[in-house]
Amino acid sequence: MSGLARMIGQRLALGAFTLLVVSMVIFAAIEALPGDFAEAILGQGATPEAVAAIRESLGMDRSPVERYFAWLGGVFSGDFGVSFNQLSFQSQYGQTGERDVVTVADQLAPRFANTIFLAATAAAVAVPLALTLGILAALYRGSIFDRAANVGTLTSISSPEFFVAYILILFLAAANPVFPSISKIHADLDFWERLYRTVLPALTLTLVVTAHMMRMTRVAIINLLASQYIEMARLKGVPRWRVIVRHALPNALAPIINVIALNLAYLVTGVVVVEVVFVYPGIGQMFVDAVKLRDMPTVQACCLVFAAAYILLNLLADVLSVLTNPRLRHPK
């Protein structure tokens, strides 16, 4: 067991290290900003106070290393700083007291919850659906079902998210107003109302991700079914269903876990475009807006959240597939 523990320890350490390096890369973004960024960003409306505030928040007087650790320390305590947008706003309309400063974290938190809700809804449908369809396609390889699924999934993964989204809007919102085309989500909605308003964006994500996941599941299973120990099981007279359940499935866990993680990670990215189409108040939309305004603290915060989700998902998959590997579970 110690070998296994060490292995998992290594993976976790590597994951933590990657996160750290990624945070450095994201932080280094500010260092790479050309010219006097504060004036550039505030443009015409730049008041000296605002420029000074931004300079201070960037900590121009300190060394980059110092600033990095200050920023990282803030991140750990949930403080991503104040957005430039807010600073600019305050500089023009006057400071109305400490309490009214809206920090990036304040903006991020509810939106983050919304995004998680959207992604989770999509995943809850997509994962079981894709696994079932993928396994069926592998079992009936070469059948009409398999070939139709191949064409269907290829078409689906080839389509940009906004294409799928607008088709859904066209038929399910504009022509037949079944669902709202704009997802107005706020805190005091009950679960069902929230779900109702999330249906279209979640459906878009589901369609795109299911196709991917199903294809990968199919390939993973087919590779497995070609193994000699599967042939051996068949030659022992083991019935078909038992070959799958007892001989294929335990070995398929690792590839399937990887497929799921990869696609959940893909969801993280796909959410950006979908949120913009449906004006869904998640971090994807916030991120895009911040990019357009070049609002650095917000961009950094969103980036870090996305990257962390992505890395953690991959890490989880990694650890789980180590755990399901009999060679590692039962060392020599």
197-256: contacts with other proteins (CB under 8 A): 227-229, 231-239, 242, 246-247, 250-251
Decide: is 43 part of the binding site for other proteins (CB under 8 A): no
Q: Write the interaction track for other proteins spanning residues 141-170; mark x where CB under 8 A is met and - where it is not.
A: ---------xx--xx-xxxxxxx--xx-xx
Concatenated DSSP letters of 115-183: HHHHHHHHHHHHHHHHHHHHHHHHHTTTSHHHHHHHHHHHHHHHS-HHHHHHHHHIIIIIIS-SS-SS-
**Window of 68-76, 111-119, 125-133, 324-332 that interacts with other proteins by CB under 8 A:** 324-332
Window of 42-50, 85-93, 111-119, 292-300 that interacts with other proteins by CB under 8 A: 292-300
Closer residue to other proteins, CB minimum distance, 189 or 262 = 262
265 binds other proteins (CB under 8 A): yes
CA of 295: how far to CAs of 5, 114, 135, 213, 266, in Å? 43, 21, 46, 35, 25
Residue 171 CB, shortest distance to other proteins, in Å, is: 8
As measured in angstroms, the least distance from the Cβ of 191 to other proteins is 29
Distances 6 to 3, 30, 137, 314, 322 between C-alpha atoms, Å: 5, 37, 38, 18, 11
- Work out how close the CB of 110 gets to other proteins at its nearest, in angstroms, rounded to a whole number: 20
List the interface residues with other proteins, window 84-143 (CB under 8 A).
none
CB of 174 to other proteins, least distance (A): 4
208: Cβ–Cβ under 8 A, 6 or more apart, which residues? 156, 157, 159, 161, 164, 270
25: contact with other proteins by CB under 8 A = yes
Site string for other proteins, 47-86 (x = CB under 8 A): ----------------------------------------
Give the whole-angstrom CA distance, residue 88 versus residue 279: 24
Distance CA 48, CA 72 (A): 28
How far out from the chain centre does Cα 70 lie? 27
